[in-house]
Amino acid sequence: MPPPLPRAIRWIVGAHEMPTILDGATIAAAIKQEVAEEVRALAARGVRPGLAAVLVGNVAASEIYVRNKVLACEELGIYSELITPPAEITTAAMLDLVSALNSRDDIDGILIQLPLPAHVDAKALLDAVAPEKDVDGFHPINAGRLQAGRQALAPCTPAGVIEILKRNNLPIAGKHAVVVGRSDIVGKPVAMLLLHENATVTICHSKTRNLAEITRQADILVAAIGRPGFITPDMVTPGATLIDVGINRLNTREEFDLFFKGNAKREATFLKRGSTIVGDIHPKAFELAGAYTPVPGGVGLLTIAMLMANTVRAAKMRRGI
């Protein structure tokens, strides 16, 4: 957990003018509206994009995520199919299922909801999804195409980060973007997408020396390291754009007070639900920003919208439209 803020930092935070909040809900709604229009245009050509969601076993959080994805499909006119194999299914049986979905012409996107049961080989399954139907953008072929700057299905969360920046008219070209986190799902692909937009990109991680010196150089700071409040105010230059990809649940009063002590609105939510969430950026650091994505209400809301966009894109790419 981060230490208390130094006195000088508290003074800087208090003196800085109000930052712009980058509202994920507004951007997600705009993307969904555009996707719905594309779906209607495809319908006029006799094409209906289709998404198959595979949910193994009974994981409560995963069930909510997948239900929201299916509901988004219904809302936008995309055909969706929810497949729910039992938790004890074998890797071999799952590979057969993926193979069957790969061969179906009415399915343009295949989504395998993670995490999978421990005995199922998740990597083998993700690699088995046909790259042209890999709407999560996890397949090594899509990762390679993304790296090479070719047409590819990009992972949804990193693609959402770029949409947030562009749709808020925040310049990327020529800016120094620092990405904290190097996962295959967020860190690496978001760095590659920023590079393609002509940013100068630095990737940092848990072994980076003098991390704060580097993050303070960032015009755009993307935090995707999976540690609550990891980026503290002393790691941020005033006026920087802060993109917080983290979602970390706080369950104890001690954890809550570290980040939100004195925040009556957050406290009411915490007392009602018994928990609240915080990103990878300390809330006090947001007060230094020129613009920032809140948690909740920021990057997370873009993920399903970008999944819908990827499904339509896959439908068009598969048919040469």
The full DSSP string for 199-242 is: -EEEEE-TT-TTHHHHHTT-SEEEE-S--TT-B-GGGS-TT-EE
Q: What is the DSSP letter of 27?
A: H
Q: What is the pLDDT of residues 202-220, one digit of tens each?
A: 999 989 999 999 999 999 9
Q: What is the pLDDT of residue 285?
A: 97
Mean pLDDT of 264-269: 90
Terminal CA-to-CA distance of the chain, rounded, Å?
50
Residue 236 falls within a domain, yes or no?
yes
Alpha-carbon gap, residue 241 to 291, rounded angstroms: 5
* Average confidence score pLDDT of the chain: 93
Higher pLDDT, 220 or 321: 220
Which entry of 108, 133, 134, 136 is annotated as an active-site residue? Answer: 136
Distance from C-alpha of 30 to C-alpha of 196, rounded to nearest angstrom: 23
- What is the DSSP secondary structure assignment for residue 97, as one 8-state letter? H
Residue 105 annotated as catalytic:
no
175 and 290 share a domain? Answer: yes
User: Helix 24-43 vs helix 60-76: angle between axes, to the nearest 10 degrees?
Assistant: 50
Q: 165 in a domain, yes or no?
A: yes
| pLDDT at residue 7 greater than cutoff 80 | no
Helices (H), the chain: 7-15, 24-43, 60-76, 91-102, 122-128, 140-147, 156-167, 187-196, 211-215, 253-260, 264-273, 283-286, 300-318
Q: In what order do the strands lie in the sheet with 20-21?
A: 20-21, 291-292, 241-244, 220-223, 176-180, 200-204
How many domains are there within the chain? 2
207, part of any domain: yes
**The predicted structure's pLDDT at residue 13:** 44
With bands split at pLDDT 50, 70 and 90, how would you rate the model's confidence at 34? very high
Side-chain-side CA neighbours of residue 206 (13 Å):
4
Q: Is 33 a catalytic residue?
A: no
Please check whether residues 55 and 161 belong to one and the same domain: no
Question: Rounded mean pLDDT of 254-273?
Answer: 91
| Per-residue pLDDT at 9 exceeds 50 | no
Does residue 62 fall inside a structural domain?
yes
Examine the domain organization and report whether 201 and 292 are in the same domain.
yes
- Is residue 284 annotated as a catalytic residue, yes or no? no
Mean pLDDT of 247-276: 92
The answer to whether residue 112 is domain-embedded is: yes
Question: Is the pLDDT at 5 greater than 80, yes or no?
Answer: no
CA torsion, ordered 134, 140, 141, 147, to nearest 10 deg:
110
Q: What is the CATH number of the domain that holds 239?
A: 3.40.50.720
Whether residue 121 lies inside any domain: the answer is yes
Question: Domain range spanning residue 64?
Answer: 46-131
* Residues 236/288, Cβ–Cβ less than 8 Å: yes
241 belongs to a structural domain: yes
Please give the pLDDT value at position 16: 52
pLDDT score recorded for residue 14: 46
Is residue 10 pLDDT above 80, yes or no?
A: no
For residue 38, name the pLDDT band (cuts at 50, 70, 90). very high
Integer Cα distance of 205 and 67 in angstroms: 33
Q: Are residues 101 and 215 part of one domain?
A: no
Q: What is the pTM of this model?
A: 0.91
113, 175, 219, 244: which one is catalytic? 113
